[in-house]
Structure 1
Amino acid sequence: MELAAFSIISDPRNDKNQVYSLDSLLLIIFASVLSGYDSVDEMCEFARLKLDWFNKFVKLERAPCPETLRYLLCSIKPQSLIDVFDEFAKTQKYCSDGDCIAIDGKTMKGTATSSTEALHVISAWSSQYGITLAALESKGKKNEIKTIPEVIDLLDARKAVITTDAMGCQKAIASKIIESKNDYVLQIKGNQRRLFNEIKAFHHLQCREGFDNVSIETYEEIDKGHGRLEQRKYTHFALTDWVDNKAEWRGLKSVILVERKRTIGVSIQEQSSWYISSLQVNARKAAKAIRSHWQVENPLHWWLDVVYGDDHSTLHSANGPLNLTMIKRYCMNLLTKDSTIKRKKHRVMASAVDDTFREKLLFG
Structure 2
Amino acid sequence: MSVVRSATHADRRVIAFDGKALRGARDSTGNLPFLLAGLCQVTGTILAQVGIAAKAREVPGLRKLLATLDIAGAVITADAAHCCRETAETITTAGGNYILTVKNNQPRLPARLKTLPWKHVPVPDISVGSGHGRRERRMLKATAIDAGIGFPGAERVLRMSRTRTDRKAGKRGTEIVYAITTLTASDASATMIATWLRGHWGIENRAHWVRDVTFDEDRCRARTGHAPQVFATLRNTAISLVRLVGRSNIAAALRHYAHEFSRPFELLMAC
TM-score by length of 2: 0.90
1:232, 1:196 → 2: CA distance?
20
Deviations 1:223-270 (A, max 9, x none): 1345432110011111232x6xx23x2101111111111222112232
More strand by share: 2
Per the alignment, residue 39 of structure 2 pairs with 125
Q: 1:284 to 1:107 in 2, by over 3 A?
A: same
Say whether 1:107 aligns with 2:29.
no
Say whether 1:181 aligns with 2:95.
yes
More helix by share: 1
After TM superposition, list the pairs within 5 Å mapping 1:171-320 onto structure 2: 171-201=85-115, 203=116, 206-207=117-118, 210=120, 218-241=124-147, 246-247=149-150, 249-265=151-167, 266-281=170-185, 282-320=189-227
Stretches of structure 1 that go unaligned for 5 or more consecutive residues are: 1-81
Helix, strand or coil at the partner of 1:303 = helix
Identity within the alignment, %: 24
Which residue type is aligned with residue 108 of structure 2?
A: R
Helix, strand or coil at the partner of 2:197 = helix
Per the alignment, residue 238 of structure 2 pairs with 331
Per the alignment, residue 66 of structure 1 pairs with none
Which residue type is aligned with residue 222 of structure 1?
A: V
Stretches of structure 2 that go unaligned for 5 or more consecutive residues are: none
Deviations 1:277-334 (A, max 9, x none): 1111331122022011111111111101101122222122221111111111111111
Return the match for 1:152 from 66, 86, 95: 66
RMSD: 2.1
Query: Residue 142 of structure 1: CA displacement?
Result: 0.5
2:28, 2:253 → 1: CA distance?
37
Helix, strand or coil at the partner of 2:218 = helix
Q: 1:323 to 1:165 in 2, by over 3 A?
A: same
Q: Which has the larger radius of gyration?
A: 1
Helix, strand or coil at the partner of 1:280 = coil
Helix, strand or coil at the partner of 2:184 = coil
Q: 1:177 to 1:230 in 2, by over 3 A?
A: same
Which residue type is aligned with residue 199 of structure 2?
A: S
How many residues align? The count is: 264
2:199, 2:248 → 1: CA distance?
20
